[in-house]
Amino acid sequence: MLRGLRVSDAAPACSDQTTAAVQSPVKCPQLETTSFDTDVVVHSGQNKSISVRVADIQPDQMDNVLCLFTYSWEVKYSTWKITSSNLECEALQFEFSDVTLPIVTAQFTVTSGKNSVPLDNPQNITVRIYKCGTMVTNCGQCLSMDPEYECGWCVGASPTCSLQTLCPASDWLDRSAVCPNPQILGEMMPMILIRRHDGNGGPELCTTRVLATF
């Protein structure tokens, strides 16, 4: 009879089967985010360099490194700068042409080594490409967007939500500004009177609703 024996599943292999130095999945060469977010945001049409940490990379995997971004049925390539713990994909223009989509997500892959094997991406780091003007349609919504998008309201002949770099300085409204020309949309709801019936002669309470946009 066998006593005190414990059997466990074999550890899954790393992506790069050619690297004999790796003994455990914990030590698999992998990408890690440099912030709490697992995605990077960039406005459509803008250039941006993508920086991530690299963990447990082996010497033979620091050659032939390539950053790949897959979205809208195409793959874009970027060259790189790599150290023992950080990788920076050189600036690349992220852009999509569909005028109906507010956001497109690009899958992020880094390949390395003589066989161009992808490094593990356990956090599923992606690139979120967005358009201020398609995400929202009025000033109030624009100025209340998440600050990470850096959107503001551009007044002028064709008011729109945009980046500051795409708007004349005199027409730009940032998040601290007040939207011009607020408008009331739709009909005002009828006033509702609520009477107290406790016999104490309390005041009548009334409420009303107004739907407005800015």
What backbone phi and psi angles, to 5 degrees, belong to 60? -75, -5
**Between the CA atoms of 10, 14, 17 and 23, what dihedral angle is there, to the nearest 10 degrees?**
-60
CB 213 within 8 A of CB 183: yes
Confidence (pLDDT) at 80: 79
Confidence (pLDDT) at 29: 84
Domain that holds residue 150: 132-180
Residue 166 sits in the same domain as residue 74: no
Domain CATH code at residue 65: 2.60.40.10
| pTM for this model (two decimals) | 0.73
Confidence of residue 19 (pLDDT cuts 50, 70, 90): very low
Provide the pairing of β-strand 126-130 with 39-43: parallel
Residue 181 confidence (pLDDT) above 70: yes
Residue 35 sits in the same domain as residue 45: yes
- Given 130, 156, 171, the domain boundary residue is 130
Residue 208 placed within a domain = no
Residue 120 sits in the same domain as residue 157: no
Q: What is the pLDDT of residues 116-145, one digit of tens each?
A: 889 999 999 999 999 999 999 999 999 999
Residue 100 sits in the same domain as residue 174: no
Please list, in sequence order, all residues whose beta carbon lies within 8 angstroms of the beta carbon of residue 214, skipping any fewer than 6 positions away: 138, 139, 140, 179, 181, 182, 183
Give dist(CA 88, CA 192) in Å, integer: 61
Residue 31 sits in the same domain as residue 120: yes
CB 111 within 8 A of CB 118: yes
Specify the number of domains making up the chain: 2
Provide the pairing of β-strand 103-112 with 117-118: antiparallel
Residue 111 sits in the same domain as residue 141: no
Residue 141 placed within a domain = yes
Residue 30 sits in the same domain as residue 116: yes
Residue 121 sits in the same domain as residue 138: no
Q: Is 170 helix (H, G, I), strand (E, B) or coil?
A: helix
